[in-house]
Amino acid sequence: MYIFQISILLVILTVCAVTLGRYMAKVFSGEKTLLSFLIRPVEKLFYRWAGIDEKKEMSWKEYAFLFIIFNVIGIVIVFLIQELQYLLPLNPQKFPPVRWDTAINTAISFVTNTNWQSYNCEQTMSYFTQMTALTVQNFLSAAAGLGAAIAFFRGFARQSSSTIGNFWLDLTRSVLYILLPLALVFSIILVSQGVIQNFKPYVHAGTLEGKEQLIAQGPAASQIAIKILGTNGGGFFNANSAHPYEDPNPLTDYLQILGFLVIAAALPFTFGKMLGKEKQGWVFFTCMLILYIFGLAIALHYEFKGNPLLAKAGVVGGLNMEGKEVRNGILSSVVFAQSTTATSCGAVNCMHDSLLPITGMILFFNMAVGEVIFGGVGVGIIGLLQYAILGMFLIGLMIGRTPEILGKKLEPFEMAMTMLAIVLPSVFQLVLGAAAISSKETLASLGNSGPHGLSEIIYAFASAAGNNGSAFAGLNANTVFYNLTLALTILIGRFATILPALAIAGSLAGKKMVPESARFPSTGLLFILMLVGVVIIVGGLTFFPVLVLGPFLEHLFLGIGKVF
């Protein structure tokens, strides 16, 4: 039965991805779309007000410089709003300024599309901060990543060109034509299903035991819609999508899974359309889908196989419901967890800490390899293309031919940038993770010992480097050490992926196409298997020690009845 449900999800996803991918290609090519009559006048008015010349294009260095400046300004603004929220309106609970290290971590996290939350949402952020700082950045960070991907695509599509597009146009069109319309429709659907959207003070309610409970309120639906669609993941409430105000029923649960997959899954088709070869888009989508299904199948196998200790205790099938989304069952919890880590969304509807060890290992792998299994809005396809460059370089060496990809020769500059993008985030998450397990002060934040405790730490740094933002739980990360080291890892994960990609785009755009007869075919089964293999092998070799000492070792201990 669950195979049928997953199949329906993937069929719907594929149809939506193809349609949306073609639409986005039209948007970023400046062609007319169904929404042009409504949005184009607003777009032109904004350009006139901001003094932006639509016809001016930028070199990769100009594009990268504006990308950096835009993000730095965003970090400063989000930080200041948090520190001044006690003076600003829409703060019915009278929240004080956010602690400085938490504010730095949050500012960097939301501006980079990570949305790692080390704080308790209901007790930290005012409505004004949630709306003007966090929700706004959910749009802008996703739009910036989407724009970077489009600029990267142009590097492959253009010949003898010194430009890769206009940062401001890509950013604006991402928001106006894609993110805003989708989020508007999605938020209305969420409200219709029971997600709240108000400015009321928190409600004091009496429980059946006669005690008082404080129920948080606020403008949740508007933030949840873009947190899902923009693969941001930051919850309005601390329980995230396990909270009934964020995810009220099975329909909203299903739509959220589809929501954070759809834009990332559509981008391969946008790439194929912009390249003039739609078959190429299908190839990259197929690679993503294979990696996604492979991980999902392993996770479902072990979760439905159950916990042997629970089976001995008399639980039917040994099924472990601890930390699961009990309203929707094991299937929903596992599909949600696989999808949110495969897309760098980070939203959660269950406690990843309570999943079985092998499932936790799959979630860690999804993030640690650079979020290329669909990935975040924009950066997922960027990462997969970087792995494709690496794969084609290796093939070129093996067959004794000058390495090339999609008709463009690969030279030392492209390979240096590719290796920087693949290696640097991995180095930082491993080095800083090692630092976190090297002192008593940082280990004091752990909720568990042994290999499970190691999993909690390495998961946090993988989540940061992959700009995912989900937490394994069990780790108190709201300390100065974790806030600052995770913030640094987040920055490296974001900029070490996008800036090299822009550099590669600038270099490839200036080259001519290799003659068809001299190319290695990039649309066949061999290319798909090569790319999937490179992702698995590179990820496996890089993280083999921590995977063995963490989740795999815990899995072995579980078999002999030892838990942590």
| Token pair recorded at residue 452 | 């499970």
Residue at 146: amino acid letter: L
The pLDDT of residue 562: 85
The pTM assigned to this predicted structure is 0.94
Token pair of 315 as six digits: 């639980």
Domain encompassing residue 127 = 2-276
CB 493 within 8 A of CB 141: no
Residue 411 domain-assigned (yes or no): no
Structure tokens at 208: 């059946």
The residue written with tokens 């928001």 in the block is 175
Please calculate the CA angle 88-71-489 and round it to the nearest 5 degrees. 105
Q: What is the pLDDT of residue 131?
A: 93
Q: What pLDDT is recorded for position 329? A: 86
3 state DSSP class of 218: coil
CB atoms within 10 A of CB 91: 16
Has residue 499 been placed in a domain? Answer: no
d(CA 328, CA 335): 11
> How many CB atoms sit inside 10 A of residue 203's CB?
10
- As for how many domains the chain has, the answer is 1
Q: Is residue 387 part of a domain?
A: no
Is residue 229 one of the residues assigned to a domain?
yes
Q: Is the dihedral of CA 312, 314, 319, 323 positive or negative?
A: negative
Estimate to the nearest angstrom the gap between the alpha carbon of 100 and the chain centroid. 25
Structure tokens at 497: 């992926």
Asked whether residue 470 is domain-assigned, the answer is no
Whether residue 112 lies inside any domain: the answer is yes
Residue 443 belongs to some domain of the structure: no
Residues of the chain with pLDDT under 70: 1, 516-519
Residue 374 lies in a domain: no
Neighbouring CB atoms inside 10 A of 395's CB total 18
DSSP code per residue over 325-377: -TTT-HHHHHHHHHHHHHTT----SS-GGGS-HHHHHHHHHHHHTTS-SS-ST
